[in-house]
Every structure is written in C-alpha cells, then in structure tokens.
Structure 1
Amino acid sequence: MLHFRTSLPIAAMLVAAIGCGSQQDGFTYQPVSGKVTMDGQPLAGAIVAFVPQSNTLKSGRPSTGVTDDSGTFTLMSMGGHHGAVVGEHVVSISTKVVDNDTQDLISEETVPIKYNDRSELTFTVPASGTDTANFDLDSKPTRR
C-alpha cells in the first residue's frame, strides 16, 4: 500500500510526463474556457458542447461545460480529459435540461435554436488551448 508521502512524487512525475496537452486516446486535448453572453448579459446555467466536425469518434470525443453566474465555462471531454480536441468544432449552447430517467422537462430552453439544435456556431480549438472561447448570443429570431 502506498502512503501519501511516497505517492506524491509519483503523481508529480505522472503530471510532468503527461504535460499540458493530453493524448491518451490518440487525440490531443487542450484546455478550453470562455464566456457566454446573451444580448450582452452573462448566460448562467447554460450547457456548452463542443463536437468535433466529424460525426464519428474518429475525430475525437465531444466536450461540455456549464456556465456559472458570470457566463464562464470550462470544458471537459466525455472521456474525462480537460479541454477539447484540437481542431474544428460545432458548438451548441442550451439551457434545456431533461431528466434522464423520466424524460420530464426540468428547465426550459431560453436560447434560440440557431445556437443548439440547429447550431450555426463553430470554433477552432488551437494547439495551445484557449481561455477566450467567447460567444455573444442574440435572443432575437433570425430574419429571413
């Protein structure tokens, strides 16, 4: 059994070996955070999802985060990696929450469909990661 004192140096070596970019599943993940506003005001409690451009896991796992009261979010991949896969992503932002067991609606959608189910948002995650993945949403419907 490892004691705390002996496991601390081992943990430090593992962190140093892994470095900032994580690549355990064949993809490079980098830290991603940012801020979401709607009509210039912070959007709290929104789920932000980054999905690699391809619809298959061959392009990497999706990453999600939830905005806090200031609209700030930090992403984590579905595989538990901090950040998102480097490259192009379709971004979805939603406030709708459904109970997984009952399928009951817990929270209504307040974000226009052009930012979630039919998202027009994209973002390129750079090789160095970013803390400026910012999205300023407009609550008014798109005129056609």
Structure 2
Amino acid sequence: MLKLSTSLSIAAMLIAAMGCGSSQDGFNYQPVTGKVTLDGQPLAGATVAFIPQSTSLESGRPSTGMTDDSGVFTLKSMGGQDGAVVGEHVVSISTKLVDNDTKELLAEETVPMRYNNRSELTFTVPSSGTDMADFELESGKNKR
C-alpha cells in the first residue's frame, strides 16, 4: 500500500482529510527536479518534500519526490500536479519509511533531523520552474 515518510505524515493526513480535489486548484505549479547528496555521495531512496511556507492550505499543496540511485528527484504535488507551487517552501528530506497500514518500519532514518523533522532547509520555486533544486547535506560524522 501507500508508504510515506513519517516526516510527511501530518501533511498527508491534512490532504487526505480535504480530499484530492481536481487537478486545477488555482495555484501555479512548475516543474522541479534536483539532486540530494549526503557527505558528498548521492542519497538514494529519500523522500524529498516541499511544503509551502504558510500555516494554511491556501498556499498550495505540498509536493514530494523520491530520490533515485543517483540522488535525483522530481516533484509531484499531493494533488497530482507535476512540480511544486511557485514560492517559498520548507524542505524536508528523509529516508525513514513506515507502512501506513501496518506501521512497520521499512527503512531507517539516515538523514539528520535538521533536514527533516526539524528542517532548516528552504527553497524558492521560481515562476519558470527549476532543474537545480540541489541539496548538499552533511551528517556531521566527520566533524569534531
């Protein structure tokens, strides 16, 4: 069944409660792709979430994508539109996967919390879209 990163579960529940609606929700979505690395290496199997910076759903739906083996992701909104809504987003990147039905842990978190549950990442989606939404994460294991 559907598998979501736990860092996205609250947003997913809000969207599910609203229903998926039509593909025309009145917001300007543009294509977004990028690459995620952790300590200089491609991060495969990570969920990348762009959450519009607003406390209400009036700013557009969140968008998510999964990184491939080379760390590359392409976003799709939770309403089904390709890309992400134009504007400022908080970005969450997580490798933790939980089966929503069984609550079984499918993949452990390997990304520090400052990039997911307590994300410090932001990104502004331009009106023309982008293929350069790149994030160079550091685990901090090589420091101190």
Runs of 4+ in structure 1 over 4 Å off: none
Q: Give the TM-score normalised by structure 1.
A: 0.81
Cα separation, 1, equivalents of 2:99 and 2:76: 21
**Normalized against structure 2, the TM-score is what?**
0.81
Identity %: 75
CA distance in 1, matches of 2:78, 2:43: 23
Q: Deviation of residue 55 (structure 1)? A: 2.4
**What amino acid does structure 2 have at the position aligned with 1:47?**
T
Q: What is the CA–CA distance in structure 1 between the aligned matches of 2:37 and 2:88, rounded to whole Å?
A: 22
**Consecutive unaligned residues in structure 1, runs of 5 or more:** 1-22
Q: 1:48, CA displacement in angstroms?
A: 0.1
Pair 1:36-2:36 in alignment: yes
Deviation per CA, 1:110-132: give whole Å up to 9, x if none: 00000000000000000000000
Per-residue CA deviation, residues 75-123 of structure 1 (Å, 9 max, x unaligned), is 0000000000000000000000001111111110000000000000000
In the TM superposition, what are the counterparts of 1:5-20 in structure 2 within 5 Å?
none
- Give unpaired runs (5+ residues) of structure 2: 1-22
| Partner deviation per Cα, 1:25-84 (whole Å, 9 max, x = no partner) | 110000000000001100000000000001211000000000000000000000000000
**1:56 alignment counterpart:** 56
How far apart are the structure 2 equivalents of 1:79 and 1:102?
A: 24
Q: Distance in 2 between matches of 1:105 and 1:55?
A: 29
Q: Give the root-mean-square deviation of aligned CA atoms.
A: 1.3
Does 1:81 find its partner at 2:84? Answer: no
Name the CA distance, whole Å, in 2 between partners of 1:104 and 1:73. Answer: 25
Q: Secondary structure at the match of 2:114?
A: helix
Residues paired across the two proteins, number: 120
